[in-house]
Structure 1
Amino acid sequence: MLGIIGGTGIYAIDGLSVIREHLVDTPFGAPSAPAVQGRFGAMEVMFLPRHGPHHELLPHEVNYRANIYALKSLGVRQIIGLSAVGSLRQQIAPGEFIIPTQYVDWVRGHRDKTFFGEGLVAHVSSAEPTCARLASTLEAAASEMRLPVHSGVVYGCVDGPRLGTRAESHFLRGAMACDVVGMTNVPEVFLAREAQICYCTLGIVTDYDCWLEDPAQHATVAAVIARYGESVGRARQLLTRILSTGLSDHDACSCRHALRDAVLTPEGAVPTEKRALFQLLRA
């Protein structure tokens, strides 16, 4: 099943015939909101708003582990995460879309970034954190719709909630070689890999962050929201196209076998309280 995690401005899916809502009780607490199970034509989908139904959660307040756990427990095996991002490259303009293939974790505050620990040890490869098949599907759909999309992008994740300084912006685009900056895809992308879920971000470019000399181009909430409406509409159209055409079976994808050589704790030594989690992640 496909899961969609809605970012800023996307709190529901147009045209989704709702079947039921699921408020999942997870070992990590409550998810951002009940997951909405619905049908779009012949395709079944699960939707979860990352920031809550009314955007009440800051990036560091999102319970990322609970969100991914809940979606996995409900049968989700592929996730498209929608996010607002700031551009660190002149050629990636506001209003366009990006599909990251790499992530830089520049989150320095406390966020729970793994399902493992406390007697269950694993080291999952994140060399290629984005699902290549899902990224190709998104890119092809955007190209068919003649939407401006940039693939192969490096996403730098920062704490927020404040917008960055010019020095930080130049550091991310220079020393860190990031193409865009955002606040929410870490640890989401890495938790999805630990849960053996195919994951891909569709980023909506809202601004040029603040690295340009012209102060009028610097990111502000007012500018972001003003530019965002039209782009969100096109993102919804892109999702509608994908849901209408469907997705191929990704069970053979390497994402779905990420734990094969990653777990060091012998199965018989897994603590009793961790066995249900271990079984869910391996499913």
Structure 2
Amino acid sequence: MAASSIQPVGIIGGTGLTTLAGLRIEGESAVTTEWGEPSAPLVRGTLDRQPVIFLARHGNPHRIPPHQVNYRANLMALYQAGVRTVVGVNAVGGIHPDMGPAHVVIPDQIIDYTWGRACTFFEGELDSVTHIDFTYPYDREARELLIEAARAESIGFSGFGVYGATQGPRLETAAEIRRMERDGCDLVGMTGMPEAVLAAELGMRYACLGLVVNWAAGKTDHIITMDEIEAAIEQGMSGVKRVLARSVASLGALSPLPRPA
């Protein structure tokens, strides 16, 4: 199959991800959608003949806080660019005792604690109400490919986890983390929702590739610092990049899902 006919894989995350080994950047394009402008221009490239499109979730430079990200524009821009499989790369806090700083996690569930965010495409003057199934928020086949890649790269990872999505931009209190742990959360982050559900509304395969950058509040005897977070990112991002590089061609070969009516 010619490279031009292969569907691009979308990767949402930090701009540093565009330095994947073997990646050839081909250009970028500023786009707009009926839901407004995405966080940043779409950066297009190829990796082992697989087209990829990167989108910096918080803008480039990193300036948009998680509660003000235009998630609808981000997902729609990728959809209109031909993306049908998306990997969301997320920096998260570790709650589960095995999920410490620099650990990679491929979660399988979400609990949404956010509020007030534009979280659906199905609103306004509708012909009918649409309720999508969200029992399993992450695509099974995409998750399996990420897990296989992490295993093949021999990095420390967990192939399960409940992602607790909080509002931000502040970090959580120790009491909030204790509540989330009682609820069954293994991770805490601020960008997992509504990104996942919007992808589902568009019929896009979506999986999360989480990098733990700090222990969640109250899990250590010291406060969380940016120095700690930056050190974990520097240590763990190489594993994230290796997983993406190994899995991207297989992700691109997944068959498209139907878009909900």
- Identify the match of residue 75 of structure 2 among 68, 79, 88: 68
- Identify the match of residue 198 of structure 1 among 190, 197, 205: 205
Residue-by-residue CA offset, 1:139-184 (whole Å, 9 max, x unaligned)? 000001111111221000001111111100101111x211100000
Q: Would the aligned equivalents of 1:12 and 1:49 in 2 still touch at CA under 8 Å?
A: no
Identity %: 35
**Distance (whole Å) between structure 2 residues aligned to residue 138 and residue 79 of structure 1:** 12
Alpha-carbon RMSD across the aligned residues, in angstroms, is 1.6
Q: Output aligned runs, 1:119-158, within 5 Å.
A: 119-120=125-126, 121-158=129-166
Task: Using the TM superposition, give the Cα deviation of residue 31 of structure 1 relative to its aligned residue in structure 2, in angstroms.
Answer: 0.3
- Name the counterpart of 1:269: none
Task: Using the TM superposition, give the Cα deviation of residue 116 of structure 1 relative to its aligned residue in structure 2, in angstroms.
Answer: 0.8
Task: Using the TM superposition, give the Cα deviation of residue 249 of structure 1 relative to its aligned residue in structure 2, in angstroms.
Answer: 3.0
- Name the counterpart of 1:249: 253
Task: Using the TM superposition, give the Cα deviation of residue 73 of structure 1 relative to its aligned residue in structure 2, in angstroms.
Answer: 0.1
The runs of at least 4 aligned residues of structure 1 exceeding 6 Å deviation read none
Task: Using the TM superposition, give the Cα deviation of residue 11 of structure 1 relative to its aligned residue in structure 2, in angstroms.
Answer: 5.2
Which one-letter code corresponds to 1:115 in the other structure? F
Q: Would the aligned equivalents of 2:93 and 2:213 in 1 still touch at CA under 8 Å?
A: yes
**Distance (whole Å) between structure 1 residues aligned to residue 83 and residue 57 of structure 2:** 16
- Report the number of matched residues: 251
Which one-letter code corresponds to 2:40 in the other structure? A
Q: Would the aligned equivalents of 2:89 and 2:211 in 1 still touch at CA under 8 Å?
A: yes
Q: Decide whether aligned partners of structure 1 residues 210 and 187 sit closer, same or farther in structure 2, where only a CA change above 3 A counts.
A: same
Q: Would the aligned equivalents of 2:106 and 2:209 in 1 still touch at CA under 8 Å?
A: yes
Residue-by-residue CA offset, 1:71-105 (whole Å, 9 max, x unaligned)? 00000010011011101111222111111111111
**Distance (whole Å) between structure 1 residues aligned to residue 168 and residue 159 of structure 2:** 24
- Identify the match of residue 232 of structure 2 among 208, 213, 227: 227
Higher-Rg member (1/2): 1
Q: Would the aligned equivalents of 1:11 and 1:53 in 2 still touch at CA under 8 Å?
A: no
Residue 36 (1) aligns with residue 40 (2): no
Q: Would the aligned equivalents of 1:43 and 1:246 in 2 still touch at CA under 8 Å?
A: no
- Name the counterpart of 1:275: none
- Identify the match of residue 169 of structure 1 among 170, 177, 183: 177
TM-score (ref. length: structure 2): 0.91
- Name the counterpart of 1:239: 244
Task: Using the TM superposition, give the Cα deviation of residue 189 of structure 1 relative to its aligned residue in structure 2, in angstroms.
Answer: 0.3
Q: Would the aligned equivalents of 1:85 and 1:203 in 2 still touch at CA under 8 Å?
A: yes
**Distance (whole Å) between structure 2 residues aligned to residue 257 and residue 225 of structure 1:** 39
Which one-letter code corresponds to 1:153 in the other structure? G
Residue-by-residue CA offset, 1:219-241 (whole Å, 9 max, x unaligned)? 32221112211111221122222
Which one-letter code corresponds to 2:79 in the other structure? K
- Identify the match of residue 87 of structure 2 among 80, 83, 86: 80
Residue 114 (1) aligns with residue 120 (2): yes
**Distance (whole Å) between structure 1 residues aligned to residue 17 and residue 243 of structure 2:** 16
Task: Using the TM superposition, give the Cα deviation of residue 12 of structure 1 relative to its aligned residue in structure 2, in angstroms.
Answer: 2.4
Q: Output aligned runs, 1:171-186, within 5 Å.
A: 171-174=179-182, 176-186=183-193
Task: Using the TM superposition, give the Cα deviation of residue 64 of structure 1 relative to its aligned residue in structure 2, in angstroms.
Answer: 0.3
**Distance (whole Å) between structure 2 residues aligned to residue 186 and residue 239 of structure 1:** 21
TM-score (ref. length: structure 1): 0.84
